[in-house]
A and B are shown apart, each in its own frame.
Chain A
Amino acid sequence: MDKPQPLGFGLGLRPVYYHDILSTKPPVDWFEVISENFMVPGGRPLAMLEKIRSTYPIVMHGVSLSIASTAPLNYDYLKSLKALATRFEPRWVSDHLCWTGVHGLNLHDLLPIPFTSEALRLVVERVARVQDFLGRRLVLENVSSYVTFAESEMDEWTFVGEVAERADCWLLLDINNVFVSSFNHGFDEFTYLNSIPANRVVQFHLAGHSEAGTHKIDTHDEPICEDVWSLYTRACLKFGNISTMIERDDKFPPFADLLAELERARITAKVALRQTDGAAA
């Protein structure tokens, strides 16, 4: 089981930054694109992606796979996803460990799963079918959640790890989502990190969130907070050299601010990796 080579430090590709990226060719190692934004017939989005792809590696990150839904898999969607992947050759294709709707609807949200053995079986079986269809291993991301289910039979980290092992897929560990969910549900974020199988993690997400007093919401509209930076250090110490990217989806700052955040991620990881190398020597 060979993990894909680490890509370094990337950013989410958003239209508001197309001009900055194309005109300055910034020192970003790779870009993550929202798959659905490019599952369109033609026009500017695809033209921009062609240009950026000619200079940078990309990964595709979807929001509508709905891998944990009890609704049938949407093969029209999967065909479009596969066609996009064939055209742009991303290093990997990821989506979320969640569901987005049943009964033919899409609620355009990353909805939470009860962590039951039934859900585990369903997700594992669907991941296998999706991987067979796409002809590649899928990367699944842990989501932020705001509710927990009385039916849950295991911890989230146990569920996530079991999905990865049984379905033989990769994991995208969203550090901010671990932090947000740990606050919302009162679990220990370090226990979460320590329980995730290191050999499955190929990517980290970093992002900001918003505060709602009794809970935090994963809004990607703020800078990364200090607690998440600390957790990222811990993640680097545990998981080693992992492709890292910053998500920003609202209240877009100047591109230079994102580059500065990315530089901080680079330095944080470098220091952590030096520490682990030193300990190993």
Chain B
Amino acid sequence: MTLAAIQAAFQAGILNGERAVLDLLRDSQKTDRATLFAVYADGYRARLAEYICNDFPVLREHLGEDAFGCLVEEYVVATQSHHPNARWYGRRLPDFMSESAAWRENREAIDLARFERALSDAFDAPDAAVASISSLQAIPQEAWPRLTFDLHPSVSVLDLAEGTLRLYEALSNDDEPLAPSQGQETVVIWRKDNEIFFRSCLEDERLALFEIRERTEFGDICSLLEFREKRADLTGQLAEYVSQWFTDGLLARVSIGGATSRPPTCRS
């Protein structure tokens, strides 16, 4: 029998419980081959489950051991690892929940999973220097309408069920959790000095952050917000956001005219 055939049978035995592999093995002096092969088959499931437990501790707390155990079991059966680094094995858990008949209605659990995944992603996102406000002060004020900003690679902006953040914090602190409501909240997550931070943000800031990511110029973002709010002169409001982004460490670079200028668009 070829090595390729042996390895295929061994892997099928672990993944699907196929027993053909047992014909390729010997009993030991102390026990039978099925018992020994189970070290690999059981170990495989236990290891993948452990990766999920490590990545989603608050979701586990939220669902309880039984429900979380069922979720992990379903995920492990449905999801094989293609990556050399186990770090990425659990990344699809929120998508898996959204696609699963058993979980797709549980928005609070799905959003908690999305939030925890975003925390993991921020943890080891690419490094970049954080821009300081002095880089903005070095640019003449008349050029500010043409400013563009690069967000730090760790920044993510998530739309979640309203109250997800409160639920996460309550579960993390062993407080009494309140269920999320039907509305929506936006959460910004980022890393600064190798620590992970997050906070909620309002609709105007959310929109501005999405436009920043598109490299829309500062002046165009002002016009966009003014159009949307049907108010004039929101430049001051936007300047406050920019100031806060510098303080938080959300920005990696400030430049002038980094993107093709385009007319403001309206988002519903």
Contacts and interface: CB of A to CB of B under 8 A. Distances in A.
A64 interface: yes
B36 A74 contact: no
A154 interface: no
Nearest to A40: B124
Contacts of A44: 123-124, 194
Contact of A215 (B23, B31, B47, B123): B31
A147 B36 contact: yes
Given A39-B85, A43-B194, A44-B124, A114 B29 contact: no
Interface in B7-50: 7-8, 10-11, 14-15, 23-26, 28-31, 33, 35-37, 39-40, 43-44, 47-48
Interface of A: 36-37, 39-47, 64, 69-70, 74, 77, 99-109, 111, 113-114, 116, 118-119, 122, 146-151, 184-186, 212, 214-215, 217
B91 to A, nearest CB: 13
B223 to A, nearest CB: 35
Contacts of B153: 41-42
Given A102-B4, A122-B3, A150-B25, 13 more contacts: A39-B84, A40-B124, A44-B194, A105-B80, A105-B82, A106-B82, A107-B15, A107-B81, A108-B44, A109-B44, A109-B47, A151-B1, A184-B36
Contacts, number: 138
B186 interface: no
Nearest to A144: B39
A156 B140 CA distance: 72
Nearest 10 A/B pairs, CB to CB: A42-B127, A64-B84, A214-B31, A43-B124, A40-B124, A41-B126, A70-B4, A214-B30, A44-B194, A146-B39
A149 B80 contact: no
A40 B84 contact: no
A41 B10 CA distance: 33
B179 interface: no
Name A's interface SS: loop
A215 B39 contact: yes
Given A107-B44, A108-B44, A214-B28, A41 B124 contact: yes
Contact of A151 (B6, B28, B48, B82): B6
A251 to B, nearest CB: 13
A185 B25 CA distance: 12
A43 B127 contact: yes
A31 B206 CA distance: 44
A217 B191 CA distance: 39
Contacts of B126: 41-42
B35 A105 contact: no
A149 B6 contact: yes
> Which one of A47, A74, A109, A122 has the greatest number of beta carbons of chain B within 10 Å?
A109
Interface in B54-88: 80-87
